[in-house]
Amino acid sequence: MLRWFQRPKLEASFTATHALSDEFARTIEVAGDLTIRNDGSDTDLDDVEMIVIAGFRRIPLEVPGEWRARPVASGAAAAGAVRWSLTLEAPLRAETGELYVSARDHKRKKWEWRLPFVFERR
C-alpha cells in the first residue's frame, strides 16, 4: 500500500566526450553520455527539453527521438549517447557551458538539471 504513495526521485548526469567551439566558423559540437537515474517509483519521462547555456547565450537543441518519451523503472537508469552539431548566427566565445535538461514525469512534476562541461576552443 505504501508503494502507491511513492514518487520518482530523478538525478541526471552528463559526461561530455567532445565539446568544441569554433569561433571563426561559428560552429559548436557537443557530444557525450546523458544518464537519468531513478531512485523512486517507476515513471515515464515526457516533454523533454534540452538547451546549451554558454555565457549569456541560450541555444535550443533538437531532442533526440529516444529521449522524447522514455520510461524509467525504479532503481534503473535511462542512458544514451547524444550529439549535436550547430552553426550559429554569431560567434560563441564561452569557455564553459551547461547542458540544461528539463522533463516531466508521469505525475506532471517538472524536473530540471544544469549539467556543466568545458568547451575546447579553436
**Domains in the chain, start-ordered, CATH in brackets?**
7-105 (2.60.40.1470)
0.85 exceeded by the pTM? yes
Q: 54-59 — which CB contacts under 8 Å span 24+ positions?
A: 54/21, 54/28, 54/92, 54/94, 54/96, 54/97, 54/98, 54/119, 55/92, 55/93, 55/94, 57/92, 57/94, 59/28, 59/86, 59/88
Q: What is residue 106's predicted lDDT score, i.e. its pLDDT?
A: 82
Q: What is residue 1's predicted lDDT score, i.e. its pLDDT?
A: 46
Q: How far is CA 25 from CA 19, 44, 58, in A?
A: 15, 39, 19
Residues of the chain with pLDDT > 90, as a percent, come to 78
For the chain, list residues with pLDDT below 70: 1-5
Q: What is residue 2's predicted lDDT score, i.e. its pLDDT?
A: 56
